[in-house]
A and B are shown apart, each in its own frame.
Chain A
């Protein structure tokens, strides 16, 4: 059974940092691209970042230069290092497995999410 379990969320002050983790099981993690997606009541679902099987990364413009996605295949783990956090980063953060069709991919399994709150 495919499982994705996020951790590391919490309350952080503006300007602070947080590192999210996503533990994967039930599939060969190294064979899949992975996404981070966040959700707020006001902005809905927003794609944040992708990391490919080769380690290539891309980011949404709203987080470019502040967030870093990484993976550790030996530990079946995905990470999101978030720096210079602002109130606008407050959201539930999901990791998601990407199902590829050629060079296109959608999210076929999602974790349960971890809440990040940026507030003083």
Chain B
């Protein structure tokens, strides 16, 4: 299985801050990486697919980059509604997920 390692596990930031979350794959997955947002008691929501494509309806402050083994999710200006846990998922082979990054407001 392809392992995904996210960092940090927890992130505390202020409204308006630029926030970056990293996801590293144990082997190259080309650009077959997605990012999900999950709020408490809710299902994951697709934000980014194919490493950098923004899902319809997702605010443009979210962006993704990377290829191969290293990827980032960036929120350009953190908003209160962005408080959630974020997961990366590789789908180069049967899907696996990162362990999650919990984003908190400072």
| A residues neighboring B (CB under 8 Å) | 35, 37, 44-47, 50, 58, 60, 94, 99, 101, 104-113
| B residues neighboring A (CB under 8 Å) | 32, 34, 42-46, 49-50, 55, 87, 89, 91-92, 94-100
Q: State the main secondary structure of chain B at its contact with A.
A: loop
Q: A44 with B100: in contact, given A50-B94, A58-B94, A105-B91 (CB under 8 Å)?
A: yes
| Nearest-CB residue, chain B, relative to A98 | B91
Contact A94 B43 (CB under 8 A): yes
Q: Hey, which chain B residues are within 8 Å of A46, CB to CB?
A: 97
* Pairs across A and B, CB under 8 Å, 26 listed: A44-B98, A45-B87, A45-B89, A45-B97, A45-B100, A46-B97, A47-B94, A47-B97, A50-B94, A58-B94, A60-B94, A94-B43, A94-B44, A105-B91, A106-B34, A106-B49, A106-B95, A107-B34, A107-B46, A107-B95, A108-B49, A108-B55, A110-B45, A112-B42, A112-B43, A113-B43
Contact B95 A47 (CB under 8 A): yes
